[in-house]
Structure 1
């Protein structure tokens, strides 16, 4: 007996050690795997329908969906990047040509009124004459070359890290699509829970993750439309571009679409339109800023089947605890807890009645308002009413 107990303890220790080592292996790709699982759960129904249309070609269906995800990420980002690069290049070329033809003073004269006054004040306070201003600017730029190089290197490294995580996410997403059903079956087979409970938890995970993901995208769209309306009213140049930037930044919780509206307000102010800038500042803070706190919980609670306040605090709490990914983790953790409570109450319940509970029904009584007691069917794993003879229907 002692040897059996010792072997059990050693085996338990080995299992814990293997879990720890597995966590170390998965840790570099944890966010990629998590996002892949969320996307696979969200589009699982679409994958099944597409597979049926392709006559059971699951790998082809998975490849089409992964390609669609790539295009949905790259095409808008590529378009915005190309627009920004073009505008910055044209602006730099304009500044360079103006300084060469008319000098720095000529460039200052082309600035809007409020900016022109501030620029003239700065130029008068400079300790150098106008003829040496260009040389001074060049020296300042050269002295900051090392800092700029470090910033560029950091940006390149961050971009490479994001690209790597995106590739890992797409690879995991492909295998989740193709072998996700087998993975769920394996997890349920090795789970110590009762039959059907593991699948119920996973169904809740799929429902909540899909609801949060779709609500985030829908909320970003609503914020972009609200920002576009403000841009059109204030006559902001290139309103569609600013609305597109607002949509993507709305998906980043720590930034948000309201930042784009406030930047546009600052540009309008410095270009000589103070009333338009004031309108945009109010519009961005009140309308665009509050849409995220109102629309997202309303949309997310439909998939979570929870009160809006619970969804709201789950979103904010997850964001505070885990960062950006907490927008998904927070609601999932809350839903996981509530699912476990529901399963416990349904499958295990209370063995003895508490004070104030209805009396225990007598022999031959169904109790609970006339409903027969429920038992779990060994064939289906579902709860079925128990007949008076003691056999399940």
Structure 2
């Protein structure tokens, strides 16, 4: 009897493990469309929790009403300009799609008269620009294949922008729910870390919270603000490709490349077609937006992000490729958090040997 029980135990264990693996994999497959927005919602909730507590103290409202109020504020502040820029991006890529997929003639506007007066490159640029506006396909010539590759990427990005905005709205709503249940969420995080690492749940929860908050406030928050303000400036000045340029500024800001490399040339370009007063105002606006990173980052990154910029770059670009616009933010945060926890584990493994 005992022999029979012992021989059946490995089979029972294998069946249980198989059923648990099947149930886990099936659950992940079912929830996979919502994993990105839910993770992004958790990230937003962690990053905005200090603002939530401040708003609760100032208004005296309950936690549910405060979470609802903050959710509506975030939706109003972020979604409206995002929708404006995304609609501009869709309009801009519609013509590009016709050129790439249907073989339509691309339309290049003639250069403003002021371009010819630019120092060093003005006359040559004006000549080439005029030729390109009259014979676009001949002017593009050898770089047309490269333009098509870039254009197809922009079309793909524009096609996913609408879905990305909906995911962004969904994530903010989820963040509001997590804010209203912040204490329960924290207890769950401590319990999970305790289960995984013994009794270090409190320490690892605090480390994860501070890491996520530093990345969200010090990198992603600044990048979103910069790209939205820059995009609104592009729309106000009727800059061609305003939506695409705002998307490029967002990617550059997330991967920690100064967006002044985009803003300064556009400011110079504005002097060639806009009035002097409007061009100067646009230049001042762009400088303020570009330098915002240098002013806000020391304040919001007081504790610093210990991960190298390469980790943020890989996380942001990899997330963008894998999960679209939401992945641009989620990838950076998740990879920085994973790097931080890995380095903590590595330091603990090497510390006894060094001692």
Q: In which range does the TM-score fall when normalised by the shorter chain?
A: 0.5 to 0.7
Give the match for residue 203 of structure 1: 206
Alpha-carbon distance, 1:28 to partner? 1.5
Give the match for residue 168 of structure 1: 170
Task: State the TM-score, normalizing by the size of structure 2.
Answer: 0.58
Alpha-carbon distance, 1:209 to partner? 1.5
Query: 1:8/1:224 Cα in 2 relative to 1: closer, same or farther (>3 Å)?
Result: closer
Rounded to whole Å, the distance in 2 between the matches of 1:170 and 1:237 is: 25
Instruction: Answer with 1 or 2: which has the greater Rg.
Output: 1
Alpha-carbon distance, 1:38 to partner? 0.8
Match of residue 312, structure 1, among 302, 309, 312: 309
1:245-264 to 2 correspondence within 5 Å?
250-253=249-252, 257=259, 258-264=261-267
Rounded to whole Å, the distance in 1 between the matches of 2:195 and 2:70 is: 34
Q: Comparing both chains, which one has the higher relative contact order based on Cα–Cα distances under 8 Å and sequence gaps of 6 or more? A: 2
1:52-201 to 2 correspondence within 5 Å?
57-77=62-82, 112=114, 114=116, 157-189=159-191, 192-194=195-197, 196-201=199-204
Query: Is 1:322 the equivalent of 2:344?
Result: no
CA contact (8 A) 2:68 2:176 kept: yes
1:19-38 to 2 correspondence within 5 Å?
19-38=24-43
Alpha-carbon distance, 1:66 to partner? 0.8
Shifted more, 332-341 versus 294-303: the winner is 294-303
Match of residue 21, structure 2, among 8, 16, 19: 16
Give the match for residue 102 of structure 1: none
Q: Please report the RMSD computed on the Cα atoms of aligned residues, expressed in angstroms.
A: 5.3
Query: 1:195/1:45 Cα in 2 relative to 1: closer, same or farther (>3 Å)?
Result: farther
Give the match for residue 337 of structure 2: 332
Residue ranges of structure 2 left out of the alignment (5+ in a row): 1-5, 93-108, 117-124, 137-151, 321-327
Question: Which has more helix, going by share of residues?
Answer: 2
Render the CA deviation track for 1:59-95: whole Å, top value 9, x for unaligned: 111101111110120344467789x89xx9xxxxxxx
Alpha-carbon distance, 1:48 to partner? 4.0
Rounded to whole Å, the distance in 1 between the matches of 2:218 and 2:303 is: 9
Alpha-carbon distance, 1:214 to partner? 1.4
Shifted more, 294-303 versus 4-13: the winner is 294-303
CA contact (8 A) 1:219 1:295 kept: no
Task: State the TM-score, normalizing by the size of structure 1.
Answer: 0.53
Rounded to whole Å, the distance in 2 between the matches of 1:331 and 1:302 is: 17
Residue ranges of structure 1 left out of the alignment (5+ in a row): 89-106, 127-149, 358-393
CA contact (8 A) 1:304 1:335 kept: no
Give the match for residue 119 of structure 2: none
CA contact (8 A) 1:66 1:174 kept: yes
Query: Is 1:42 the equivalent of 2:47?
Result: yes
Query: 1:52/1:4 Cα in 2 relative to 1: closer, same or farther (>3 Å)?
Result: farther
Q: Secondary structure at the match of 1:10?
A: helix
